[in-house]
Amino acid sequence: MSVAVLGSGSWGTAFAMVMADAGQDVTLWARREEVAATINDTRRNADYLPDTELPDNLRATSDVGEALDSAEIVVLAVPSQSLRDNLGDWGGHIPQESAVVSLMKGIELGTSKRMSEVITDAGDIDPARVVVVSGPNLAKEIAARQPAASVVASTSPRMRARVAEACATPYFRPYLGGDVVGTEIAGATKNVIALACGMASGMGMGDNTLASLITRGLAETARLGTGLGADPQTFLGLAGVGDLMATCASPLSRNRTFGYSLGQGKTLEETIAATKQVAEGVKSCKSILELARSVDVDVPIVENVEAVVYEGRSTREVVTALMSRARKLESN
């Protein structure tokens, strides 16, 4: 199958490698011409995955028209907040019958839309063509071809089957799903919970604190998702608890690392300056909070992370705020 992957950062490159390993004919689009040329010449993406040799059936280009020409699957792997503008430039080139895959884990600022909604809006794509891939998939581990699983979710059984078939390898196992809303809410919200876990670790807190944050983070993610019509079962699966565990525990996570820096007392500006790759939760904490308020769902961890990032509250203050909330039933 002919596949275009638009975005040659960590996950775009790693997922392009997965699809090439699965036997597809993959074109990876890079913004900068020199990045595309280096990938073609050296078989490596030196900025993002320098240790990974890329297969020969993966080639790079900085010409989006060339990448999209006759693609049967179009994979989008850009920062969530730039997707709308990118689709404004690319929309006309996306082939009519293609499946359009979102790898992104964020919620748009200003609109609080999920990435699949941005794709249908800004790309003028039928929702049935949109497929979301999400799970515990730290790019570096996938690029090292370590076994992992993921959810391939779409309302269209035909589209999700096409994408799952095209990315199945001995080290990458796709599971099929129909809950696009839950899969996307789980993927975006776990980044914010990982920021909170990073903050706690950076402040010197241990495993009890992390387990409490992960568990209560899962509770508020599920509450938000089901408030938006998701299947509660999704949050117990790979896109839910699976990704939450990987991201909150791993030093490879950019969101966790960002939170860790804040927890250690670095300022927001210092932390942003030291962060070379996208940590989606930093922006999405605001849009997720707005989304939760729009359906009247309580998301205290998200709310407190937003207070640190957008309102300048200290990590110490939010620990006190979270620990002194009114008593409640765990199941509520």
Ligand X SMILES: NC(=O)c1ccc[n+]([C@@H]2O[C@H](COP(=O)([O-])OP(=O)(O)OC[C@H]3O[C@@H](n4cnc5c(N)ncnc54)[C@H](O)[C@@H]3O)[C@@H](O)[C@H]2O)c1
Q: What is the C-alpha separation between 248 and 255, in angstroms, rounded? A: 8
Is 256 known to sit in a ligand binding site?
Answer: no
Please tell me whether 243 is known to bind a ligand: yes
Of 39, 103, 125, 285, the residue at the interface with ligand X (CB under 6 A) is: 103
- Please select the residue that binds ligand X; options are 67, 131, 139, 319, rule is CB under 6 A: 139
Q: Which of residues 24, 27, 80, 183 is near ligand X by CB under 6 A? A: 80
Active-site annotation holder among 113, 140, 190, 328: 190
Residue 54 is given by DSSP the state P
10 has binding-site annotation: yes
Q: What is the DSSP string of 225-237?
A: HHHTT--GGGGGS
Phi, psi angles (nearest 5°) of residue 44: -135, 150
CA distances from 2 to 5, 95, 247 (A): 10, 11, 31
Q: Is 90 annotated as a binding residue?
A: no
The correct pick among 78, 186, 301, 305 for binding ligand X (CB under 6 A) is 78
Q: Across-strand partners of 174?
A: 150
CA separation for the pair 77, 97 (Å, rounded): 20
Q: Which of these ranges, 102-110, 168-176, 224-232, 323-331, lies near ligand X under the rule CB under 6 A?
A: 102-110
Interacting partner of 9 out of ligand G3P, ligand X, none (Cβ under 5 to 8 A depending on kind): ligand X
Closer residue to ligand G3P, CB minimum distance, 123 or 259? 259
Q: How far is the CB of 76 from ligand G3P (least distance, A)?
A: 15
We find the least distance from the C-beta atom of residue 272 to ligand X, in angstroms, to be 13
When asked if residue 10 is in the footprint of ligand X (CB under 6 A), the reply is yes
Residue 115 Cβ vs ligand X, minimum distance, rounded to whole Å: 8
- Scored b (16 or more CB within 10 A) or e, 40-60 reads eeeebbebbbeebebbeebbb
Which long-range CB contacts under 8 A does 205-210 form with residues at least 24 apart? 210/248, 210/249
Task: Tell me the Cα Rg of the chain.
Answer: 19
Nearer to ligand G3P, 86 or 137 (CB): 137
Q: Are the CB atoms for 260 and 200 separated by under 8 Å?
A: no
266 is catalytic: no
* Residue among 253 and 304 whose Cβ is closer to ligand G3P: 253
Q: Please tell me whether 53 is known to bind a ligand.
A: no
171 is annotated as contributing to ligand binding: no
123 makes contact with ligand X (CB under 6 A): no
- The tokens for 51 are 């240790």
**Between the CA of residue 238 and those of 15, 199, 246, what are the distances in Å?**
17, 24, 10
The residues binding ligand G3P (CB under 6 A) are 105, 136-138, 191, 194, 243, 246-247, 253-255, 280
State yes or no: 263 annotated in a binding site.
no
Position 31 contacts ligand X (CB under 6 A):
yes
Write down the least CB distance from residue 138 to ligand G3P, Å: 5
Q: What angle do CA 134, 292, 264 make, to 5 degrees?
A: 70
Task: Write out the two tokens for 201.
Answer: 């670790």
Q: Give the HSE-up count for residue 20: Cα atoms under 13 Å, Cβ half-sphere.
A: 22
Q: Binding to ligand X by residue 220, rule CB under 6 A?
A: no
Query: At 185, which amino acid appears?
Result: I
| Catalytically annotated residues | 190
| Residue stretches of the annotated binding site for sn-glycerol 3-phosphate | 105, 135, 190, 243, 253-255
Binding positions are: 7-12, 31-32, 48, 105, 135, 139, 190, 243, 253-255, 278, 280
**Contact residues: ligand X, CB under 6 A:** 7-12, 31, 48, 77-80, 82, 86, 103-106, 137-139, 277-278, 280
